Amino acid sequence: MAKGWVLSGLLILGWILTTILVFHQRRIQRMFAWMTLLYLPSVPALVVAYLCTPADLGVLPRTFGSTSTFLGLLNALVVHVLLYFTQVMLFFHFTRSITLQYLCRFHEAKDKILTPQDLRAYCSPDRLLSLRLTSLVANNYAVVAGDRYRLTPKGRLFARAIALSRILFPVKQA
């Protein structure tokens, strides 16, 4: 099992580094689509690497390699998918979090001092709403219809999934 974890971890690290490189080289509009596109080749690469390497990878204790090939590969694939989703969630948390945006703004500010007015100008509710709506349209979850936004079929499906997740995992509002 450890073999799959190691191989998956190395491939995920390679994917993260590739994603960073691509995102720095190109202006990306559909980030999730690009992240997924860059991730997909790592799945067959994991299967090939798993099937072509020794059970102990030449460095792991032999007891770690005692899993059957099928179960070990299945475990590696599950871990690989979970690492993918974890990284995607971290990416979007860091790029969308208001608190982290404020911290970055403090870091960039002269003498690291800002007023509440400075922060409001940087992350006003209108600016945040505009960014979110632009993202929904760019990712084909909504379309602009005059001065209104309308969900696409993809957006309706996603909204239903979110509604279901809120029923299954209710969050108490403070």
- Which helix (H) or strand (E) segment holds residue 126: the answer is helix 125-138
Single-letter code of the amino acid located at 113: I
Model pLDDT for residues 40-78, shown as the tens digit of each residue: 999 999 999 999 988 888 888 777 667 788 998 999 999
How far is residue 79 from each of residues 72, 105, 116, 152, 153, measured CA to CA in Å? 11, 35, 43, 32, 31
| pLDDT tens over the chain, length 174 residues | 788 899 999 999 999 999 999 999 988 878 888 999 999 999 999 999 999 988 888 888 777 667 788 998 999 999 999 999 999 998 888 777 778 878 888 888 888 888 888 887 777 778 778 888 988 898 889 999 999 999 999 999 999 998 888 888 887 765
Is the pTM value of this prediction over 0.85?
no
- Which helix (H) or strand (E) segment holds residue 151: the answer is strand 148-151
